[in-house]
Structure 1
Amino acid sequence: MPISQAAQRLPDDAVYVRPRMAHYAAVSRQIMAALENISPSVEQASVDEAYLDVSGLERLIGPPETIGRQAKHIIKNTVGLTASAGIGPNRFIAKLASEYRKPDGLMVVHPHEVQAFLDPMPISALRGIGPRTAPALRQMGLERIVDVRQTDPALLERRLGLRLAQVILNQAHGRGSDEVQLHSVRQSISKETTFEQDIVDQARLRETLLWAAQEVGRTARREGLQGRTITLKIRLENFKTFTRQRKLPAPTDDDTVLYRQAWALYRESGLAEHPVRLLGLGLSDWQQDAPSQGDLFDTPSHPSEHAQTPQRDRRTRLFQTLDGISNKFGQNAITLGLRRKT
């Protein structure tokens, strides 16, 4: 449940606990590394979810149930957490199976069991069933997946459109991709923080954006990514959330560029006088292996000057040094400073 929705249901004296996102990410990396002991084909889907290709491992490890128990055992021994495992002939079935016996569950759906597994489920189990689609299906008398599977495809297409109807029908018949993507590129990198008290102090907000810019920039450089689109996220005291975006003329992974552009977006947002509950910064729209942009506010001394100027060379070395120190001594070992000028 989004915090904005939860806040409407909770009493005024509810206590909001700051999440430990860096810790969650570190534990997630431990889990993903541990799962590679089972299969080299591991696709991380989120901070707490992954797909494994375990085809062909029966002779090495044992039947699917044994593979699932081993995955749960490895996670428990590595980080002390329970996990739910689902095994099926494709990603869709495996995902549903993992949700079937939560928490700490294990569910195996063999190919010949797929339809019996799906049919009794409500239509809400299908992906793509949103607040508009569900009522439309129920008006057609479709309450369970078996109802969708047995309905006339032409009726479904007229009601939902060809594309969505095909997606839902494929799921109702248990069809889905079985491909595990080993090197999927993330769509964006973002960092945000929720304040214990609403903040109006501009200096504190600037410091927070600088911290977020450094975290995003460090991650982008580590993954070899440079982005063109900077996103600012602001949540106010009433939990209303706003985003502002800016597309840059060239891709960047430069902390200073990220900070200055995010701060400019904040100043131009029309929200600068409002108390802030959450502040975040994101980078997306990748161009991999792009030449370094450097600082947007650096002006070349000559029109023919190459993009990689001596000053930008120095900036590249600077960030390499900062990243090296942070990797060795921790993320808070060294940070960029703020100029007084706004």
Structure 2
Amino acid sequence: MQEKLAPRLIAHVDMDAFFASIEQRDRPECRSRPVVVGALPGNRGVVSTCSYEAREFGIRSAMPIAEAYRRCPNATFLKPNMRSYSEASDKVMAILASISPVVEQVSVDEAYLDISGLERLHGSPETIGRKIKAAVWQATELSCSVGVGSNRLIAKLASEHNKPDGLTVVLADQIVAFLDPMPVANLRGVGPQTLKTVQRLGIRTVRQLREYTLESLQHYFGEKMGGGLYRQARGEASAHVGVRGERSSISKETTFGEDTKDLRKLRDTLRQLTAEVGRTLRREGLKGQVVSIKVRLPGFETYTRQRRLAFAEDRDSMLFTVAWELFATSGKMGQPIRLIGMGVSDWGEGSGTMLDLFDSTQPSDRDHRLYSMMDEATDRFGKGKLSLGIPDKKPKS
């Protein structure tokens, strides 16, 4: 007789208002007050995250900081302290790794765990959830919400179900009852345009969505989106949890306080962004073959350009040269620029092309030593204290 396989159990752990909660923990004067982490009032930028007290005023992540200030001028506005957030994240992920051997970190403040078959070691799903929450609080003095389900979708929806500081377990035979009253807006990928169509059809809940056939949903929403809605309404999703692969790109961008046409300012900004990207590449042992730039105009029109290199690079000088050439030939010189950014992707050691041994653009041992010294100096003294010279040729306008 074939042994019956144990049901899959996936946990999703989501820290509550992570950045803002760390600031409230570390700043007693911020506790029980609306806290907004992101850009500061009077500057361009958006809300990174905010405390639950700030959310009562309608403030949300990605909201323009000017709108957040308009809604709650008495809130405490703080710039992000990424070092503190990273330290807390490392502690949380170490705890999760002690619970399950299979952990997939999806961002600085959330992760999936495969807890299938761990009942004998840790207890029931509820017990595992409580153990995670208690260990996270003990190590960080921060709360988290935990959802447990038979796949990633149900686990994620369960963690969102009772935030903050929630614990929701949805077993396989409870999925339909759990989903039925849920607003369709809670499902993955349902943005404003999809929601308009949903509302036009008179669909409010997942139960109502489930009454539609696959063919009708694909008719109204397209093959991919319609199929996704059909499966989500039935609680169908992947239960795979695994270590995420290396990041696919590294990029940095800056939004200017005022739109600028100043080529010197644009060049210096792009140079600084390239230095940050290059330092990250070298720290993570990566080299990229594709350089890209991003340019945003005052009306929020956004343009991107990219170029593939002959071989993979991590040197600021080469990356900046290509990035500036992309901007110089973008047709946007002389126009007011709201945002500029650059990135590197497509990791590798080369394109398979035989390289000229006497090509001065290829990296040398001297280059590696110089960049290593520069990175060490940056770690010790901070950004902007030391950089390698880049020829300052005036671009053609």
- Same-fold status (TM-score > 0.5): yes
- Whether contact under 8 Å (2:296, 2:337) holds in the other structure is yes
Q: Residues 1-342 of structure 1 correspond to what in structure 2 (within 5 A)? A: 5=64, 7=66, 11=70, 18-21=79-82, 23-194=84-255, 203=264, 205-234=266-295, 240=300, 242-250=302-310, 251-269=312-330, 271-272=332-333, 278-284=339-345, 286-290=346-350, 304-305=356-357, 312-323=364-375, 329=380, 332=383, 334-342=386-394
More moved, 1-10 vs 74-83? 1-10
- Give the Cα–Cα distance (whole angstroms) in 1 for the partners of residues 329 and 64 of structure 2: 27
2:92 partner SS: helix
Q: Equivalents in 2 of 1:324, 1:74: separation in Å?
A: 35
Q: Distance in 2 between matches of 1:81 and 1:239?
A: 40
Provide closer, same or farther for how the CA distance between residues 161 and 233 of structure 1 changes in structure 2, counting only shifts above 3 A: closer
1:297 paired residue number: none
Q: Which moved more, 1:97-106 or 1:194-203?
A: 194-203
Deviations 1:23-62 (A, max 9, x none): 5445434432342222232212122221111222222222
Aligned counterparts of 1:22 and 1:276: Cα–Cα separation in 2: 30
Letter in 2 for 1:94: A
Would you say how many aligned residue pairs link Structure 1 and Structure 2?
Answer: 331
Q: Work out the CA distance in 2 between the residues paired with 1:74 and 1:331.
A: 34
Deviation digits for residues 196-254 of structure 1 (CA, Å, limit 9, x no counterpart) = 67667655544443332233223333444332332333456x57363432222333222
Conserved 8 A contact 2:317-2:390: no
Q: Measure how far apart 1:172 and its partner are.
A: 0.7
Q: Which runs of 5+ in 1 are unaligned?
A: 294-299
Structure 2 counterpart SS, 1:59: helix
Match of 2:278, as an amino acid?
G
Distance 1:64 1:290, change over 3 A: farther
In 1, are the aligned partners of 2:151 and 2:239 still within 8 Å (CA)? yes
Q: Which amino acid aligns with 1:318?
A: L
Q: 1:77 to 1:275 in 2, by over 3 A?
A: farther
Could you tell me how far apart the structure 2 residues matched to 1:288 and 1:104 are? Answer: 43
RMSD over equivalenced CA pairs, Å = 3.7
Distance 1:260 1:129, change over 3 A: same
CA distance 1:32–1:325, shift in 2 (3 Å): farther
Percent same amino acid at aligned positions?
A: 40
User: Which position in structure 1 is the counterpart of 2:54?
Assistant: none
5+ residue gaps, structure 2: 1-59
Normalised to the residue count of structure 1, the TM-score between the two structures is 0.79
Q: Letter of the 2:309 partner, please give it.
A: P
Could you tell me the TM-score, scaled by structure 2's length? 0.69
AA partner of residue 168 (structure 2): M
For residues 286-313 of structure 1, the C-alpha deviation after alignment (integer angstroms, 9 at most, x for no partner) is 13344799xxxxxx9xx85377988533
How far residue 68 of structure 1 moved from its aligned partner, in angstroms, is 1.8
For residues 211 and 78 of structure 1, do their structure 2 counterparts lie closer, same or farther at Cα, with a shift above 3 Å needed? farther
DSSP 3-state at the match of 1:258? helix
Relative distance call for 1:244 and 1:161 in structure 2 (3 A) is closer
